[in-house]
Structure formats: structure tokens, C-alpha cells
Amino acid sequence: MSAKKGLHLTLKIWRQKNSKTKGQFETYKISDVSTDSSFLEMLDILNENIINEGKEPIAFDHDCREGICGMCSLYINGRAHGPDTGITTCQLHMRMFKDGETIVIEPWRSAAFPVIKDLMVDRSAFDRVMAAGGFISVNTSGNTLDANAIPVPKEDADKAMDAAACIGCGACVATCKNGSAMLFVGAKVSQYALLPQGRVEASRRVLNMVKAMDEEGFGNCSNTGACEVECPKGISLENIARMNREYMAAMVDKG
């Protein structure tokens, strides 16, 4: 039996020294890529070839490579995380591509996510939004109530868990024509708004997180729905609607 033929690909990859310099696409050829390898493994092989040529490797972000952290985020052939659905870039395999294909690889495109280098972007804007209210204050005076003793309707618990599945990869922002982060913020607001532990500071949370989101320069939502389609965890647009309701109620309470 003959050996399985590998892919021969042309890669057009965005190279940019830092956020203050202009970037450009550079073209690379790579041969004999196994269809069983992941997309990031293919980039690893490419970087080995580049290093062997005495050139600077391509910078790209990654960590767990298990679809959990979202750090591997890339724009591939015009789609966040590539041509497959419901996965992060690290879970994308080369069997999704054809022999001889040209693959265009870019970093996230958003003013709120400036390029650090090549394919790496700074997503610390999400961290600052979370720091503004994405948490629950806990009384540790010794009178704390066991969370397991607080009854939560199963429907609410399920919706909260679905919202909590957001990994903060930023695909929603990169895919939105407005660069909106409302799916991300909506998920983080919903995660707590649906649970009794999160109701204590619900008004303050949503007001602060929306304010932080706007200050970071993210755009507004125009209900295109691309964010939900490209989200690797399938976060629902219902979370944006819930956030809007929470925000309006908080504004009324504020007076």
C-alpha cells in the first residue's frame, strides 16, 4: 500500500513587527503536510523550515491546544477560526483543506485588539471589561452560605452554564462588521444574572461592564448574527438581549 500523500500548500501570512509599524502579507510554500495534523502543527512545521533558513519565525498565540483557552485565534480564509464550525483554530485539522490550496492567515481585525506581532493580538481589553464587573463579591466573614444550598431552577442553571462556556477568544469581535463585543459581555453578564448569587450586584455589574466595553472602543451590535455563527462555543444572541434588559433595568433603578 502506498503512503498517504501530503498536502502542498501556499500560505499567505500577515507579518507585522509591532502595532506601530505597517504589516504586509508574505507568501510561503509548504509541502507534504499530513491531513491528520492540526492547523497549529502545520504552522509549527512552517516555523521550523523558516528557522532552518535563518529567518525569523512567525509569531502566533497558543496555549492549551484543546479548544479551551481561545488563545490560538486566527482569521483563516476570511473566517474566524477557519472553515470548520464549533471549534477553535487549534482544533482545526488540515483535512479541511485541499492539495494545492492557497490559505490566507491573518490576526483578528479590530481596533480594540491591536497587533502585538504577526498573528498575535492584544486582547487585554476583555480583561479590563471583566475587571469592571465580571465577578461576584463574596462575604468571607464566617457567615457564608454554601452555594450548593441555594436552589436554582434547572432552566436557569443550564442557561448560566451555556453562557459561562464563553472562552473569551474574541471571534465575535473579529467577525462583527462593527467590531462589537456585545456577545462576549452579554455572556459574562448573563452568567451571573441568571443565578441568585449574582443578583446582589447585578445593576452595578452591567452598568460597569457596558461602560468599560464602550471605553475600550468596541462597536455596537446591529443584530447581524455573525458573532453567534462563528463563536466556537455557540454562545447565543439571547445573551445580548438579556444584557440589554439588565442594562435598561439598571438605568431605571439608577434614576
- Cβ neighbours for 146, distance < 8 A, ≥ 6 positions apart: none
Residue 91 has pLDDT above 90, yes or no: yes
Q: Tell me, yes or no, whether 127 and 221 share the same domain.
A: yes
What local confidence, expressed as pLDDT, does residue 136 receive?
A: 87
CA angle 197, 255, 184 (to 5 degrees): 45
Same domain, 193 and 131: yes
- Domain stop point among 114, 142, 158: 114
R_g (Cα) of the chain, nearest Å: 21
Among 90, 114, 138, give the residue marking a domain's end: 114
Residue range 117-139: mean pLDDT, rounded: 93
- Asked whether residue 109 falls in the same domain as residue 188, the answer is no
Does one domain contain both 82 and 138? no
- What are the Cα distances from residue 63, in Å, to 68, 110, 130, 157, 208? 9, 22, 21, 29, 30
Whether 46 and 138 map to the same domain: the answer is no
Mean pLDDT lowest among 9-23, 32-46, 138-152, 157-171 = 138-152
pLDDT band at 3 (very low <50, low <70, confident <90, very high): low
Same domain as 89, residue 166: no
Q: Give the CA dihedral 182, 184, 190, 192, nearest 10 degrees.
A: -130
Cross-strand bridge partners of residue 10: 29, 102
Q: Both 15 and 36 in a single domain?
A: yes
Percent of the chain with pLDDT over 70: 96
Are residue 160 and residue 240 in the same domain, yes or no?
Answer: yes
pLDDT at 197 over 80: yes
Which of 232, 24, 248, 196 lies closest to 240 in space, CA to CA?
A: 248
Query: How does pLDDT run across 67-83, given as a tens digit for each residue?
Result: 999 999 999 999 999 99
Task: Specify the residue for cell string 512552517.
Answer: 46
Q: Do residue 128 and residue 109 come from a single domain? A: no
C-alpha cell at 50: 523558516
If asked whether residues 68 and 154 sit together in one domain, one would say no
pTM value is 0.92
Least Cα distance to 228 among 190, 171, 189 occurs for 171
Q: What is the CATH number of the domain that holds 194?
A: 1.10.1060.10
- Co-location of 32 and 75 in the same domain: yes
Q: Which domain holds residue 38?
A: 5-114
Q: What are phi and psi of 72, to 5 degrees?
A: -80, 5
Confidence of residue 143 (pLDDT cuts 50, 70, 90): confident
The number of folded domains in the chain is 2
Give yes or no for residue 2 having a pLDDT over 70: no
138-146 long-range contacts, CB within 8 A, separation 24+:
none
Tell me the pLDDT of the chain averaged across its residues: 94
CATH number at residue 50: 3.10.20.30
Choose the final residue of a domain: 88, 114, 140.
114
Based on the domain organization, do 107 and 162 belong to the same domain?
A: no
Q: What is the pLDDT of residue 104?
A: 98
